[in-house]
Amino acid sequence: MKINGYSFVEVLIGTVILFTVITTIGPITSQLFKEQAILSDRRIIIYTLHDELQPYLADKHMIPMSLKKNINGKNVFLMFIDENNYMKGCATWKNAREKQETTCLYGMPAT
């Protein structure tokens, strides 16, 4: 007996393999896009924190200071304080995973 074409078992196996690949790649790409957004936001916020810290390094009398800015669609709380002869600038925000993230930069004030 000669059979031309695919059998039901072959089609079923092919379908299972296809759905396994789809269900594996989908969450991985979603996770990659979320991590990419977190890193992009972090980079932009650190650049902004650096730029905002510069006036405080030039004029030490402006410290302490805090402000809230909208950076890249995120509400970011910026705080600047004098700490052990250094100016400390910190940024706090909620990342793409809805976790609070804080990063700080230090600078030496002008004399």
Instruction: Tell me the residue range of the domain where 45 lies.
Output: 5-107
**CATH code for position 76:** 3.30.1300
Instruction: Classify 42 in phi/psi space as left (phi over 0), alpha (psi -120 to 50) or beta.
Output: alpha
- pTM of the complete model: 0.77
Please name the residues in contact with 97: beta carbons below 8 A apart, sequence gap of 6 or more: 34, 38
In whole angstroms, give the CA distance from residue 102 to residue 41: 12
Give the chain's domain count. Answer: 1
* The two structure tokens encoding residue 95: 């990342």
In DSSP terms, which residues pair with 83 in a beta bridge?
A: 86
Q: Tens digits of per-residue pLDDT, 60-106?
A: 777 788 899 999 889 999 999 988 888 999 999 999 889 999 999 99
Predicted local confidence at residue 39, as pLDDT? 95
